[in-house]
Amino acid sequence: MSRHKRALILLPFCAALSACRQDMHDQPRYDPLQESTFFADGRSARPYIEGTVARGQLNSDAVFYTGKRGDQFVDTLPFPLTRDVLDRGRERFTIYCTPCHGQTGEGNGMIVQRGFSHPPLYTSERVRTQPLGHYFDVITNGFGAMHSYAVRVAPRDRWAIAAYIRVLQVSRSATVNDVPPDKRSSLEEEKQ
């Protein structure tokens, strides 16, 4: 190999080595919580935006984060059930659950129609009799072919989905007598 070719081969290595300097390591910086005159409040860094950095979140409420009290699943929400909670549950259910479970929980979602395994029906006796915490646990940890949604769905939203699943189950066997008397007239109007 000629000297010129060797020089051309070594030239990029020499250029790369000349760029290895310590300026990046020796640059001015602040230590954590060090005072600064840059910001008016004297901090060297800005406070964390609430909900964006998982710091200081102690999961001390076992029922809220596991759906269990001891070894038993709970059958109530760990917070009040409101219309907003059900609306949020329906919205999250539509996003995350309908591809397999379908809009009504009958297990006829698009993924199933394309050949994926059929999930259990929400209206089956075995599934319908499960406590609410069971649904939270399944969403959190997965079950059978279903994978965990713990990373994708926040705990409060998992509870909202569980509440919405219960609404789907009740709606499949509801009768007019289950509707409060003051709301029945609106049903009759919609029917006509």
Averaged pLDDT, 114-143 = 92
What's the rounded Cα separation, in Å, for the pair 149 and 157? Answer: 11
Please report, for residues 36, 53, 86, 131, 138, the alpha-carbon distance to residue 73 in angstroms, rounded to integers and kept in the order given. 50, 30, 20, 6, 11
pTM of the model: 0.67
Residue with tokens 């399944």: 138
Please report, for residues 11, 72, 176, the alpha-carbon distance to residue 188 in angstroms, rounded to integers and kept in the order given. 86, 42, 10
- Please give the mean pLDDT across all residues of the chain: 86
Averaged pLDDT, 46-57 = 70
The per-residue pLDDT for range 20-49, each reduced to its tens digit, is 566 666 777 888 788 888 889 998 888 877
The per-residue pLDDT for range 83-100, each reduced to its tens digit, is 999 999 999 999 999 999
The identity of residue 16, as a single letter, is A
Residue with tokens 């029945």: 184
Band (pLDDT 50/70/90 cuts) for residue 11 is: confident
What's the rounded Cα separation, in Å, for the pair 132 and 78? Answer: 10
- The residues that bridge with 73 in the sheet, in sequence order, are 68
Domain ranges of the chain: 65-173
Is the confidence at residue 55, as pLDDT, over 80? no
The per-residue pLDDT for range 131-177, each reduced to its tens digit, is 999 999 999 999 988 999 999 999 999 999 999 999 999 888 888 88
CATH fold, domain 65-173, is Cytochrome Bc1 Complex; Chain D, domain 2 (1.10.760)
